[in-house]
Amino acid sequence: MRRLHYHRVDVFTDRAFGGNPLAVFTNGRGVSTETMQAIAKEFNLSETTFVLPPDDARHDWRVRIFTPGSELPMAGHPTVGTSFVLAREHLVRRDAKETTIILEEGVGPVPVRVEFSSGEPVFAEMSQPLPTFGPRLEDRRAAAAMLSLDENDIDDGLPLEVVSCGVPFLYVPLKSLDAAHRARPRADLMEGMRDVPPGVFVLTREVEGEGSTVHSRMFAPGLGITEDPATGAASGPLGCYLVRYGIVPRAASAGIVSEQGIEMGRPSLIHIRIESEGDGEITGVKVGGQCHFAGEGFIEV
């Protein structure tokens, strides 16, 4: 039997029992892919990460990310939370107010900027790949049905579109906060929809929290995630969607705050920065937030 040490953090929150929980194994050396997947299924969190030495010596660490059902090439809250744990455990430089580390993930090198206060990590922000847009879903009635909503709940002034910054999600704009609260995923209908990725992201411009830009929910029952309390990989494309369609004005660096997880009782705040050039082309996608250390332990495998 081998005893593996893990850390538990809540990501995109500054308090216990908020945000998105994550398990981080800072020493994944010698652990097989099958065992990593079995551990992720055992923990049954939306993601579990395993840290390994980098393949390229110019980078800091290699990170593998698993849902209970499969491995992911990239994910937001695992990247932010793993960076926080590495900084907290003195596995990256902490001798300045901030540092940037490079994590190797399935999509390639991912830069993460970590801020410190009194020597401790307080904020982490990852860079995501530039967005790709499309295809669009034209059947609004079918989209509403797979969310247990009425077609009139969907905002007819915005497209239903797949956007990706490494991981694709379908973005479904809703007219109201009430519609967002009422949304319930229909896994049977989602699986039968063409051009619909496993993750379906609903958003509305009506918000609950002062300072929030958008209210969000993400459903991925096909990945074993009925609902996710905070989805970093979907938040970069969300920011790009909001900027592209004028919900948030274009700027050299447009700041966005997405509130998510409220319906689950795990409120999360995800900070998004979308950088653009003068001609409006998106040139940078940043997603970050705070983390709360929840504890640590061992598992024997």
pLDDT tens for 114-154 read: 999 999 999 999 999 999 999 999 999 999 999 999 999 99
∠ Cα 252 165 97 (to 5°): 55
Positive or negative: CA dihedral 197, 265, 37, 25: positive
Say yes or no to pLDDT of 224 above 80: no
What average pLDDT does this structure show over 165-173?
A: 95
Q: Where are the domains of the chain?
A: 3-127+290-300, 132-287
Given pLDDT bands bounded at 50, 70 and 90, which one contains residue 223? confident
* Annotated catalytic residue 47: yes
Options 3.30.420.40, 1.10.357.10, 3.10.310.10, 3.10.20.30; CATH for 3-127+290-300 is: 3.10.310.10
Residue tagged active-site, from 47, 104, 105, 259: 47
- Is 3-127+290-300's fold the same as 132-287's? yes
- Comparing CA positions, the residue from 167, 24, 27 lying closest to residue 107 is 167
Strand partners, 295: 8
CB-CB neighbours of 78 under 10 Å: 31
Q: Residue 48: pLDDT above 90?
A: yes
Q: Which residues contact 283 (CB under 8 A, 6 or more apart)?
A: 130, 275, 276, 277
**pTM of the entire predicted model:** 0.93
pLDDT digits (tens, 9 = 90+) for 191-201: 888 889 999 99
**Percent of residues in the chain assigned helix, strand, coil, to nearest 5:** 20, 40, 40
pLDDT tens digits along 140-151: 999 999 999 999
Q: Which helix H or strand E contains 244, and what residues bound it?
A: helix 232-244
Q: Quick check: 214 and 242 in contact, CB under 8 A? A: yes
pLDDT at 211 over 90: yes
Say which CATH architecture domain 132-287 belongs to: Roll (3.10)
Q: Is the pLDDT score of 209 beyond 80? A: yes
pLDDT of residue 28: 97
pLDDT for 23-45, tens place per residue?
999 999 999 999 999 999 999 99
